[in-house]
Chains A and B, each alone.
Chain A
Amino acid sequence: MAPRSKTKTETPQGAGDEDAPMSDAPTSHQPTTEEVDESMADPDEDEAVPEAENEEDMLPEEVQRVRILPGSTEHAASFEFLEEGHTLGNALRFIINRNPDVELCAYAIPHPSEPKMNVRIQTFEGTTAIEALTKGLRDLQDICDVVTDKFVDARQEFASGVTA
C-alpha cells in the first residue's frame, strides 16, 4: 500500500507571484480612530495651545456612548450604545415596548466580541424614536428610584425588627 501523502497538485502554482498586493485589499469597514497620542508627542504643538484650551484638553475626553445609526428617520431609528449589554438592553427594550406610542422596539448585540448594543425603535405618529428612548431611560430611572427607596425602607424595618 502506498503511504498516504498530499497530492502534488495541491501546491499552489507560483503562489508568491500571484499574491494580491495590499493596496488592492478591500478597505476596512471599521471606523478609523484618530490618534490622540500624536499631538501629545509633539512638544511644539503642546506649547502652541493657549492655556485655557489646554486645561480643557487635560480633562478626560468625553466618549459619545449613544449614536443614531445611518438610515434612521424621526419615527424609526436604530441606536448604537457603546459599553452596554443585555443588562441595559433587555430592561430598556421591555420598558420602551410598554410605551403605547411605540410600534416596535428590539435590541441586539451584533457581535459578542464588540462592546456594542443596538436598539431599534419604531414609533407611531405621537412620538419620535429619540423621545421614546429618552422616556424609556427615564422610566427605568424611576423604577430604580422606587426600588432603592423600598429596599432602604425594608432594611430599616428588618433592622428594627431584629433589635426589638
Chain B
Amino acid sequence: MDYGTTNPDEVIKHARIDKTPTVKISHSDALRCKFELKDTTMDFANTLRRVMLAEIPTIAIDLVQIEENSSVLADEFIAHRLGLIPLNAEGVKKLKSSRECDCDEYCDQCSVTLTLHAKCTGEENMQVVARDLVPAGDRLNDHIGTPVITDADGQGPLILKLRPGQEIKLTCIAKKGIAKEHAKWAPSAAIGYEYDPHNKFHHLDMWYEENPKKEWPPSDYATWEDPPDETQPFQFDAEPTTFYFNVETAGPLAPDAIATEAMEVMMMKLAGLVNELTAGEGGSGANGLESPGFGGGGGDGWQDGYTTPSGFGAGGGGNQSSWGGGGGVTPYGTTPYGGSGAPSW
C-alpha cells in the first residue's frame, strides 16, 4: 500500500512500534461498533477518541421561532429540548456551516427547517413527539435533518405534553456544528475506551476488600490478551499498544461512520496546518509564521541568552516581544509584570 511521500517504515520507526497499526472489528450493528486498534500509541488512540466525541460535524436544532405556545412549558425550555433531539446527519458534509454561508441568517444551503404544529383537540392529554417535527423546504437529500426515531412505536423522543385546548406552533432551524461547541451536536452517545485488561501496566490501583483478582470481574477483552506472567519482574517502561473501542451512536451517524469520519476530521485538521506551514516555502526564507520578535538578531541573541543548560534561563538576549520587556526564550519567559525579561529559575 502506498501512503504518500513518507515511507511508512519511517513513521513506524518514529512510533517505536515494530508493526503498522491494525484494526479488527469484533462487533458492528446499527447501534454500536466495537473494534480493536493495535500497534499504535496511547496518544494517537486518545486523539481518535477525542475527535469521535467532540469534533465530528452533525446537525442539530439551533434556532427556534415560537408562534404559539400555550403549553405549561416555557418557550426556552422547549427550545432546549428541541436542540437535544438527534437529527439524521446523512450528507452533512455538503451542508455549509451557517457562519461561513453567504446568506444573512440561514438558508437552504446551510440549514434545515423543521416545523411543529400541534393542538390538543381531544379530551385526553396529548403527547408531542419528535415524529411530529416535519422537515419543510428544500433539503440537500431526503434524510438530512429528519429526527432519528429508533423506538418500536416510531414516535421518537417526547418533546412535551398538551392539555385539552393547548397548542404549540413553532419553526426550528437546524444547523451544522460540532460537539465541542455544544453537546447537542455529539454524534456518539458514548465511546468505550479500554486498554490493558489485565492491568499489567499498573495504571489502575484497584480497590479491594481482600483480593482484587476475585472481587473485580475480568473485562471482556481479558481473553484477548495473555495474562501477566507472575514470574517476570514488573515492566516499568512498558507502554500500551492495543486499545479497545466501543463506539455507540446517538443516531445521527452510523457507528462505523463515526470512526471513519473522525479520521477524516483529523486529516483535514493536519492538512490545513501542514499547508499553512509550507505555504510560504520557496520564498525568501519567510514562512509566513514570523511574528515581530522573530528573526532580527534572534539567532545571536539566543546564543547569548542561553546561559542555563535547560535553555529557559535569562531572557533571550533582548528580543523584543509583544509583551514588552526583554523577551524570554519561551512564551512564559516574559510576563506583563516583569520589566526586564524572565526571572532566572
Q: Which residues of A contact B (CB under 8 A)?
A: 26, 29, 31, 60, 64-74, 76, 78-81, 84, 86-88, 90-91, 93-95, 98-99, 110, 118, 120, 122, 130, 133-134, 137-155, 157-159
Contact = CB atoms under 8 A, between A and B. Distances in A.
A143 B15 contact: yes
A69 B336 CA distance: 15
Nearest to B337: A26
23 contacts: A65-B276, A66-B276, A68-B289, A69-B293, A69-B321, A70-B323, A73-B299, A74-B299, A78-B331, A80-B331, A118-B331, A120-B330, A122-B311, A133-B277, A139-B6, A139-B14, A146-B20, A147-B44, A147-B48, A150-B21, A152-B260, A153-B23, A155-B25
Q: Is the interface of A mostly helix, strand, loop or mixed?
A: helix
Contacts of A146: 3, 8, 11, 20-21
B307 interface: no
B289 A70 contact: no
B272 A65 contact: yes
B269 interface: yes
Given A68-B291, A69-B321, 5 more contacts: A31-B322, A71-B316, A80-B331, A130-B289, A147-B263
Nearest to B47: A91
Contact of B21 (A88, A143, A159): A143
4 closest A-B pairs by CB: A70-B293, A70-B321, A94-B43, A73-B302
Contact of A70 (B22, B278, B320): B320
B287 interface: yes
A67 to B, nearest CB: 5
A60 B97 CA distance: 12
A155 B28 contact: yes
Nearest to A88: B269
Contacts of B14: 95, 98-99, 139
Contacts of A31: 322
Contacts of A157: 25
Interface in B255-299: 256, 259-260, 263-264, 266-267, 269-274, 276-278, 287-294, 298-299
A151 B23 contact: yes
A99 B319 CA distance: 28
Contacts of A29: 322-324, 336
Contact of B329 (A64, A76, A84): A76
Given A76-B329, A90-B46, A151-B23, A158 B28 contact: yes
Nearest to B37: A147
B41 interface: yes
Interface in B30-45: 35, 37, 40-41, 43-44
Given A71-B316, A95-B14, A149-B1, A143 B44 contact: yes
Nearest to A159: B28
B221 to A, nearest CB: 16
A93 B328 contact: no
Given A95-B15, A142-B3, A158-B25, A68 B277 contact: no
A19 B76 CA distance: 42
B248 interface: no
Contacts of B16: 98
Contacts of B287: 130
A71 B329 contact: yes
B90 interface: no
A133 B273 CA distance: 10
A151 B331 contact: no
Contact of B6 (A86, A93, A138, A153): A138
B81 interface: no
